[in-house]
Amino acid sequence: MAVFDQIYQDMMKRISSEGIREVNKRTGHETTALPGLSFSVDIERDGFPLLTLRRIPIKLFVAEQVWFILGGRRPDDFLNQFTNIWDDFTNPGGVVTVAYGHRWRRHFGRDQLAGLIDLLSKDPSSRQGVVVTWDPASDGLGGVAKKNVPCPYTFTVNIMGGRLNLHNMVRSNDMILGVPHDVGGFALLQCVLAQKLGVTPGVYTHTISNAHVYDTHYHAMKELVSRGDEHQKIELHLPKDSFERAEKADQGLVEEICEDLKSQYKPGKSIKGLEIVL
């Protein structure tokens, strides 16, 4: 079994056997959850962390991450050419007010991604490569209700031994639909940043404050825990100048990355009836 598949399955087994069942007030759904789950995947050694226990829609997380790098906040400007996953969080003006890429590149009055690249270009030993999505002026803590607040709320990037590592901090993660999507997307970002900085992708770490499975997904958790197919290591081969092409909203970049991953992807069967809980 691929490394990420094994890690993911082990977490699902823990949640199934040790998880705390409670009803979430906001959604009205019961969840089974654990606090403080964390895992790491060495991309160079273990391969790209694309879940193969079940089929994952690759184009969704690839197009979304390119849109994030672009810094957009209007899905119609790029993202909706590939997926409509942000439609539920788009206001009547066609804007996602908490769009991750906009937060990274414009919202705080500075371009955090450009600053990160500049910092690590000048000082690869820096331990200050922090990018923040969460805005304490408006997110959470009983503030104004929004359709969405960031789940992955900050990530750190460092270079050790010529390898770029990324640590993604997530306040809340839907283990069935959210985790495979977020891990694929942020691992892709890690690879793009490594290419931009001329180093190798290293360790991807994912830390979740509240790791939960919704009651409507219990059947999927049971199915995934029981699977044990063997799947091969997946290696991502990024097109040249991926960061620059993302900044230019190059739709061909999405297609090329997807084709590379799909050519190696041999997942288990899809699981029907999986709908996102808003």
Q: Active-site residues: which are they?
A: 151
Q: Which two tokens stand for residue 4?
A: 């990420």
Backbone angles phi, psi at 155, to 5 degrees: -145, 150
Residue 193: strand, helix, or coil: helix
Do residues 178 and 56 lie in contact, with contact meaning Cβ atoms separated by under 8 Å? no
The upper half-sphere exposure of residue 118, i.e. CA atoms within 13 Å in the direction of its Cβ, equals 6
Amino acid at 217: H
Beta strands 20-23 and 173-174, pairing class = unpaired
Distance set, CA 266 to CA 12, 204, 232, 237 (Å):
21, 22, 8, 17
Amino acid at 127: R
Distance set, CA 271 to CA 15, 83, 223 (Å):
19, 20, 8
Do residues 75 and 84 lie in contact, with contact meaning Cβ atoms separated by under 8 Å? yes
Do residues 234 and 47 lie in contact, with contact meaning Cβ atoms separated by under 8 Å? yes
